[in-house]
Amino acid sequence: MKLFYGRFFDEIQKQNFEEIDNIISLKEEEGYFDSDCLFKDLSEKYHIELLNIHWDDQSIGTCRRYKKKELISSNRRLYQEREFFEYQIQIPFEGNPILFETRGSSWSESPITGEIKNHFLILKVIVENQNKTNFERALNRVISKAKDGERDINIRVEHYNNYLITKIQNSIKDSNNFLEDTVKIANSLGIPFKKLDNPVEIPLKSKKIIIKDKIGTNSSIEDKMYLELLKTLARMSYLMERNPFTFNDAKEELIRDHFLVQLNGNYELDSTGETFNGKGKTDILVKYKGFNIFIAECKLWKGKKYSVVDAIEQIMKYVRWNDTKNAILIFNQDVQFSKILAEIEADIESSDYCERKLDLDLNESKIAYFPYIFHYKADPSIKMNLTFLLFDLKTN
């Protein structure tokens, strides 16, 4: 991927500030909240850790050589074969890996490329002649550009973190003023002011994903954590449904990225440093030691059966026998939601892979959900959890 070049930070900042406003708005509806506690929770959750790349701890991971033909005369169609040597330099780092995918306060229009694996930055150094001088020159050039990228993104993150504190303080102050004025008006009219009996729970603390290693198999998340992940997605949808105009015309990729930011902010993998990543255009997946442990497919509702059948077929193309915890997120933007609810179960159960309903309780999340047990496409004896979450983003 291109390092320090994308625009993902703009989306992170926008989504974080929208979520802060929505959380404080929900707290307003409860009628009371602890300002100091809420400020502490929000500032900790939405704070972004600076990148800290350990430049003095470099190592060569792999080295390969390859030959490449290059055109040297188009008129005579003459080619010259050249030999190149490619080294992968591994450098450990601390901080949010997603920062490598976005540009900082300044950026280069010819960015370097690299990979992020298990909290290692992997840089490619390519030389034509294998000798110390060429390698050192090429390495210094790549490292220099990477250091510039680290410096520039950290400048941007520092500006964000500083503004974040001011943003939260002002929003809480404004909310408190609103509640105080509301109470004064209610008291002056002799109307009692009560808190909501069942406030919506908003996750503010990051959680470890618990991994259970099975002898002879790959890893999977605990059933309890699977339920927790689904609840987080459901709570996120509640915030989205409160702001349907923001998402009514959104494409699948934008909706997916919105969930990615929320998941990355709430969860961290046990000991690996892996994060939730999008695969392809619409998938959400999390990996542990190279294996998928949670997969979700995002689909816009496009009429009877199309979205459900298409999403099931899509997810069945890349789930493996040990991908046991999965979900399909369906977003409605232009159909009466009641019509979808009336059709969805029959559509799901018409799938050749559907086995039976799964006993799973998400009622507290106040969303439409349909948990099922499906079987693996290549082997019906292998079962998997597949939960369908429906979100209504239609505006009146």
Residue-wise pLDDT for 78-121, tens only, equals 777 888 888 899 999 988 888 888 888 777 777 888 888 878 99
Q: Are residues 159 and 230 in the same domain?
A: no
What are 293-348's pLDDT values in tens digits?
788 888 877 665 566 888 888 888 778 777 888 999 888 877 788 888 888 888 89
- 291: domain range? 206-392
Q: What is the CA radius of gyration of the chain?
A: 25
Which residue reads 């459901």 in tokens? 234
- The domain boundary, picked from 203, 237, 260, lies at 203
* Spatial separation of the C-alpha atoms in residues 50 and 155, rounded to whole Å: 9
- The domain boundary, picked from 144, 170, 203, lies at 203
Q: Which residue has the higher pLDDT, 245 or 339?
A: 339
Q: Are residues 196 and 231 in the same domain?
A: no
Q: Are residues 365 and 237 in the same domain?
A: yes
Q: Are residues 226 and 373 in the same domain?
A: yes
Q: Are residues 147 and 210 in the same domain?
A: no
Q: Are residues 140 and 191 in the same domain?
A: yes
Q: Are residues 251 and 182 in the same domain?
A: no
- Biggest CA–CA distance in the chain, Å, is 95
Closest CA to 286 of 359, 226, 341: 226
* Spatial separation of the C-alpha atoms in residues 233 and 163, rounded to whole Å: 27
Mean pLDDT of 279-296: 68
* Spatial separation of the C-alpha atoms in residues 233 and 227, rounded to whole Å: 10
Q: Are residues 19 and 134 in the same domain?
A: yes
User: How far is the CA of 371 from the CAs of 87, 183, 223, 227, 351, in angstroms?
Assistant: 47, 43, 13, 11, 14
Total tally of structural domains belonging to the chain: 2
Q: Give the pLDDT confidence score for residue 297 in this predicted structure.
A: 84
How many helices and strands in the chain, by DSSP H and E?
8, 16
* pTM assigned to the model: 0.58
Q: Are residues 175 and 215 in the same domain?
A: no
What are 36-86's pLDDT values in tens digits?
888 988 888 889 889 999 999 989 888 888 888 777 766 767 777 888 888
Q: Are residues 211 and 178 in the same domain?
A: no
Q: Give the pLDDT confidence score for residue 272 in this predicted structure.
A: 41
- The domain boundary, picked from 162, 187, 203, lies at 203
Q: Give the pLDDT confidence score for residue 274 in this predicted structure.
A: 44
